[in-house]
A = this chain, B = another copy of it.
């Protein structure tokens, strides 16, 4: 088995394990209130590349992390991500009808159910994360990390900046700052959560992980913007060309397609460099950076 097969097999095994973990950690569909539970499951299960869980597991592998702790941390961060997509797709936000190749939650159910399912998914993330049978101080640090990454100084703050920037022109620096919060904060949290499932990383290790996560987070968004221009809706599983249609600033609108692709490659290399202190042990994190940049959807 060569190393690519090894990595592909690992990705699939994490994705399968996540599906099981998420299913177990979500409220069951046949328990009242059924419609709410079904919408929460619809929003979370059977879809997505599971990039955040993969980052959790890959970082955990560096720190001899407990697998059950990793599953909880990864499920929690994926629930936060899923809730943000549900709310982001609602008519008062991006008003999107297609997500992961399926109707969005408010289309499949209704707006009120989508609102509540998103709210309950955020709570569920903290239920699952705080339910760790780990050292309480470690678990509490993880709760703080996830809450910070999710809230006004993280994902929600980035979405607010995104809202405010429709139709106005941002500098590259402002665009980066928006994405550092909107998607970067949760991606960085994923890496740190994985590490914390093992032992507390040293300051040097934390700085290296942070530099890696920052580069991967920005690369993820640059590639998203490229794919929004170059791919079609059926490949993406969501509405392509939507950012341009919505008059949102993107890397492609600011830098052009060619320079955006060069930037993505540069960020991929930055991610690799950041991992140098870990040597070969960072194999999965390194391959994940490549996956993020080279994906086609």
Give chain A's interface residues, CB within 8 Å of chain B.
27, 32-33, 35-37, 40, 83-84, 87, 90, 92-93, 110-113, 115-116, 118-120, 122-124, 126-127, 130-131, 136-137, 139-140, 143-144, 146-148, 150-154, 156-157, 159-161, 163-164
Contacts and interface: CB of A to CB of B under 8 A. Distances in A.
Contacts of A90: 92, 115
Nearest to A106: B92
Nearest to A144: B130
Contact of A152 (B36, B112, B144, B161): B36
A141 to B, nearest CB: 9
B147 A126 contact: yes
Identical chains bound together, number: 2
A75 to B, nearest CB: 14
Contact of A144 (B131, B144, B157, B163): B131
Given A123-B148, A123-B150, A124-B152, 12 more contacts: A36-B160, A84-B119, A92-B110, A112-B163, A113-B160, A115-B115, A122-B123, A123-B152, A126-B143, A126-B146, A131-B144, A136-B139
A253 B130 CA distance: 40
Contacts of A144: 127, 130-131
B120 A92 contact: no
B32 A152 contact: no
